[in-house]
Amino acid sequence: MPDARGPRKEDSVTARLWGGRFRGEPDPQIAAFTTSLPFDQRLYRADILGSIAHATMLGRSGIIAPDEAGRIVQGLREILGEVDAGLLKIEGAEDIHTFVESALRTRIGDAARRLHTARSRNDQVATDLRFYLKGEIVKIVGRTLALQQVLLALAEAHSSVIIPGYTHLQRAQPVLLSHHLLAYVWMLHRDVGRFRDAFARTDALPLGAAALAGTSYPIDPQLVADLLGFSSLCENSLDATADRDFAVEFVSAAATLMVHLSRLAGEIVLWATAEFGFVELLDAVAAGSSIMPQKKNPDAAELVRGKAGRVMGDLVTLLSILRGLPLAYNSDLQEDKEAVFDAVDSTNASLQAMGLILHGIRINTEAIAARLRGGFMGATEIADDLARRGMPFRDAHELVGRIVLYAQEQGRELWELTPDEYREFSPLLDASVVEATTPAGAVARKRSHGGTAPERVQEQVQAVRGALTENLSWLASLPAVPVEREAAAPGVQPGGRAPGR
Ligand code: ARG
């Protein structure tokens, strides 16, 4: 009988978890082409904690001997500690899963060969990515809430500043600066909602799906879910290993957030021009030119705007990988990670940069006040008064157009015309129209729900505070991850009882 055992090939320099049915070594170029270790090493914590939970479950379910499970868990804990401390370098393997298993083998020997019982890298990588992403979503939500607070503080510090509101980038009607800033706070509020939705659907455990079909071992996936802090189990093993729509949802939420940040960044770039001059950036968040000594450029804000394009690209990358892909796992899915990681990095960096940019921004109230003149932004108020007093709005619109032309020819503001001049245009107009055409007068009248009148904006501030508090308490309510505590605290018996069971 031929000896089917032969030498163990996975002990070669570039660790592999397969090789028995292969006669030759992989082509080095192909090995370099197919490796994911350069980027998936970012998942090391998720991978090790996932393996600790899996080994604990194998031991408690009697699938492997409790003492072997104990050695595996202890070895994994040590590996995690050493990687964290920079003592163990992640290298020399096909991917992070292979690396962890071979590091474990080096450390504890043959018991390590039982870790992969009842699982596959296919359910493992899906678990790692979900676990990692849940943590990243929590961090991004925290940073988004912090940015909302910066915007809110800026709004409150300038609660009486009136700016021109624009449509078509032409001056339209005056609004409170705080109203303008709060518009971004609401966008970010919906972004947080999208991240929370993505979190809820990411929060399902794929481990136990094995390669694609499930497993014949009497596993206890609920125990693994409890240890890793997943609130539910994936219901279909093919779906569990093949689906990445949780990642699509996350990157989609990130892309939407980034588009919002890019609009804010774009306005800061515009407002920081000499032509606008509405704001001045702190030197610390601006940059000079290598040739033009006079320049002060808003580089950081421009980069936030630019990075939005990257994250949009990440979303297209992910969707393109999934499009038409047959079930279940395919190596195409390995390409999901860099898109997700890039979205995570770009979004985190942009949220932090935006906070710094806004933190020290100077609002130039004189330049803003100068732009409240010459735009005839009170014109709609006159038309509204005429319409309220019986004139059809279309006729009022026409008449006010002539009033604007008159004021323009005279080089005067609408609020500089006299009540008598207004009465000559129409007996329906009285002295009150003069005040109504001033920026403060026009703003004060916008008392509709969500309008820019100071009392409505004050209500918004209260509503925003309530929304912030609710999101902060969601963050605080997230359950701890038991396996993280166990990994930190030595002496837990994998053969013992699960917490809370
Ligand atoms: N490195 C792989 C990935 O990132 C892990 C799963 C590999 N599974 C497999 N059957 N080759 O997707």
Looking at residue 422, which CATH number applies to its domain?
1.10.40.30
Please pick, among 160, 232, 289, 320, the residue that the annotation labels catalytic: 289
Residue-level pLDDT at 284: 83
Long-range contacts of 211-215 (CB under 8 A, 24+ apart): 211/120, 211/122, 211/123, 211/241, 211/328, 211/329, 212/120, 212/122, 212/237, 212/238, 212/241, 212/242, 212/327, 212/328, 212/329, 213/237, 213/238, 215/118, 215/119
Q: Are 195 and 252 in contact (CB under 8 A)?
A: no
Pair 44, 147 in one domain: no
Indicate which residue's Cα is closest to atom 7 of ligand 1.
121
Residue 472 is assigned to a structural domain of this protein: no
Pair 394, 432 in one domain: yes
Pair 53, 150 in one domain: no
Q: What CA–CA distance (Å, rounded) separates 348 from 152?
A: 20
DSSP line for 251-262: HHHHHHHHHHHH
Residue 148: which residues within 8 A CB-CB, separation 6 or more? 185, 188, 189, 464, 468
Residue 35 is assigned to a structural domain of this protein: yes
Ligand 1 within 6 A of CB of 241: no
Pair 188, 303 in one domain: yes
Ligand 1 within 6 A of CB of 334: yes
Indicate which residue's Cα is closest to atom 11 of ligand 1.
331
Rounded to the nearest whole angstrom, what is the distance from the C-alpha of residue 34 to the centroid of ligand 1? 10
Residue 350 known to be catalytic:
no
Q: What CA–CA distance (Å, rounded) separates 164 from 185?
A: 19
Indicate which residue's Cα is closest to atom 3 of ligand 1.
334
Q: What CA–CA distance (Å, rounded) separates 33 from 38?
A: 11
Residue 105's domain comprises 28-117
Q: What is the DSSP letter of 229?
A: T
Residue 445 is assigned to a structural domain of this protein: no
Ligand 1 within 6 A of CB of 119: no
Residue-level pLDDT at 181: 98
Rounded to the nearest whole angstrom, what is the distance from the C-alpha of residue 119 to the centroid of ligand 1? 13
Would you give the distance in Å from CA 325 to the centre of its chain?
26
Domain end call among 313, 336, 369: 369
Pair 309, 346 in one domain: yes
Ligand 1 within 6 A of CB of 336: no
Residue 168 known to be catalytic:
yes
Rounded to the nearest whole angstrom, what is the distance from the C-alpha of residue 122 to the centroid of ligand 1? 6
Please give the structure tokens belonging to residue 448. Answer: 């509709």
Shortest-distance atom of ligand 1 to CA 36: 1
Residue 412 is assigned to a structural domain of this protein: yes
Rounded to the nearest whole angstrom, what is the distance from the C-alpha of residue 16 to the centroid of ligand 1? 12
Q: Which residue has the tokens 């800026």?
A: 154
Residue-level pLDDT at 391: 96
pTM of the full structure: 0.93
Mutate to test the pocket of ligand 1, among 18, 35, 36 (most ligand atoms within 8 A of CB): 36
Pair 323, 407 in one domain: no
Residue 217 is assigned to a structural domain of this protein: no
Pair 39, 101 in one domain: yes
Rounded to the nearest whole angstrom, what is the distance from the C-alpha of residue 71 to the centroid of ligand 1? 26
Domain end call among 389, 407, 437: 437
Rounded to the nearest whole angstrom, what is the distance from the C-alpha of residue 334 to the centroid of ligand 1? 6
Mutate to test the pocket of ligand 1, among 30, 334, 340 (most ligand atoms within 8 A of CB): 334
Residue-level pLDDT at 14: 60
Q: What is the DSSP letter of 500?
A: T
Looking at residue 132, which CATH number applies to its domain?
1.20.200.10
Domain end call among 316, 341, 369: 369
Pair 238, 347 in one domain: yes
Indicate which residue's Cα is closest to atom 2 of ligand 1.
334
Residue 219 is assigned to a structural domain of this protein: no
Rounded to the nearest whole angstrom, what is the distance from the C-alpha of residue 43 to the centroid of ligand 1? 13
Pair 151, 294 in one domain: yes
Residue-level pLDDT at 3: 52
Residue-level pLDDT at 4: 54
Residue 392 is assigned to a structural domain of this protein: yes
Pair 67, 107 in one domain: yes
Residue-level pLDDT at 364: 98
Pair 104, 194 in one domain: no
Mutate to test the pocket of ligand 1, among 99, 125, 207 (most ligand atoms within 8 A of CB): 125
Residue 79: which residues within 8 A CB-CB, separation 6 or more? 48, 88, 100, 103, 104, 107
Pair 365, 236 in one domain: yes
pLDDT in tens, the chain (501 residues): 455 554 454 444 467 778 788 888 889 999 999 999 999 999 999 999 999 999 999 999 999 999 999 999 999 999 999 999 999 999 999 999 999 999 999 999 999 999 999 999 999 999 999 999 999 999 999 999 999 999 999 999 999 999 999 999 999 999 999 999 999 999 999 999 999 999 999 999 999 999 999 999 999 999 999 999 999 999 999 999 999 999 999 999 999 999 999 999 999 999 999 999 999 998 888 888 888 889 889 999 999 999 999 999 999 999 999 999 999 999 999 999 999 999 999 999 999 999 999 999 999 999 999 999 999 999 999 999 999 999 999 999 999 999 999 999 999 999 999 999 999 999 999 999 999 999 999 999 999 999 999 999 999 999 999 999 999 999 999 998 999 876 665 544 444 444 433
The partner residues of 280 in beta bridges, in order of sequence, read 362
Tally the domains of the chain.
3
Q: What CA–CA distance (Å, rounded) separates 460 from 445?
A: 16
Looking at residue 78, which CATH number applies to its domain?
1.10.275.10
Q: What CA–CA distance (Å, rounded) separates 22 from 6?
A: 11
Residue 474 is assigned to a structural domain of this protein: no
Shortest-distance atom of ligand 1 to CA 94: 1
